[in-house]
Structure 1
């Protein structure tokens, strides 16, 4: 389809299947440095009941599901701002209600962070969106490619769910 022709994309924790799908849409996958697109896919933590979590496990889930994502996004946005170029950030992760209280806290905060950064960074041409899903299929991969493409130039601050039904 060529949605991402001429674009470079950095994947953090992204699967080989996601990388292949982005490449099929024309993106060049890069390991670091300046790029047009940042996609951060946080691996889901094991589901644990709140009363079984240690504070270290709680903080670890927030670090992986929120703090690290903010760190990568902030660095990416600073680089794009400095170069005067637009960019797109996409966060992919499990829905907040699926994996326990630590994931719920991280996922809920990430949704609010996505909306806030989407507004704050729009003036710089940097779009920020999130997809909450447990799926890793063509629907997710095509949605990801679309959201970081120029075809979604007016989509920012959106938090979407894909394949959330267990049925």
Structure 2
């Protein structure tokens, strides 16, 4: 199943098995530089009760969970537009309920960002989707590959939470 044959993919963040799954489906995973596909995986959330989060920690968690994702996707979209080609962005993270207030705020904002960018960038042929999964699984890599492939060419602005039990 070479869904991504010859496509270049850049994965930012913790591995979670996604680079191997993309390569198994034909993608060339690159460290830096231009790519046709971008996957931004969130770092594991720092789970603590709301009353224990200092302002600086709140800002850092929102930066990790939202800001860095936006800026990497914006740079990717600019590269794809300059090349005159479309592409696909996939954000991967934890469900908002699983890791406390800061994660919930970032994940909620990410959901709205995904929907907005999905609509806004569709005219440029750039798809944007999000998968929220509580833990790693081979199925997560397969789902990522599917959402980045042409099989999901009409899927954009989607946010899905999945329970992975394999």
- TM-score, normalised on structure 2? 0.96
Q: Unpaired runs of 5+ in structure 1?
A: none
Residues 16, 136 of structure 2: 8 Å contact kept: no
Structure 1 counterpart of 2:115: 115
Deviation at 1:16, TM superposition (A): 6.3
Distance 1:61 1:164 in 2: 25
Structure 2 counterpart of 1:61: 61
Deviation at 1:164, TM superposition (A): 7.0
Residues 16, 111 of structure 1: alpha-carbon distance in 2 compared, 3 angstrom cutoff = closer
Deviation at 1:17, TM superposition (A): 2.1
Residues 127, 157 of structure 2: 8 Å contact kept: yes
Structure 1 counterpart of 2:89: 89
Q: What count of residue pairs does the alignment treat as equivalent?
A: 165
Q: Which moved more, 1:74-83 or 1:9-18?
A: 9-18
Residues 66, 109 of structure 1: 8 Å contact kept: yes
Residues 91, 130 of structure 1: 8 Å contact kept: yes
Q: Unpaired runs of 5+ in structure 2?
A: none
Deviation at 1:43, TM superposition (A): 1.2
Residues 8, 28 of structure 2: 8 Å contact kept: yes
Alignment of 1:1-167 (within 5 A): 1-15=1-15, 17-163=17-163
Residues 42, 64 of structure 2: 8 Å contact kept: yes
Look up the SS of the partner of 2:97 in the other structure.
coil
C-alpha deviations, 1:51-100, integer Å up to 9, x for none?
00000110011000000000000000000011110100000000111100
Deviation at 1:138, TM superposition (A): 1.4
Distance 2:74 2:16 in 1: 25
C-alpha deviations, 1:28-63, integer Å up to 9, x for none?
000111110000000122210000000011001100
Distance 1:16 1:115 in 2: 24
Residues 164, 104 of structure 1: alpha-carbon distance in 2 compared, 3 angstrom cutoff = farther
* Greater than 4 Å deviation, 4+ residue runs: none
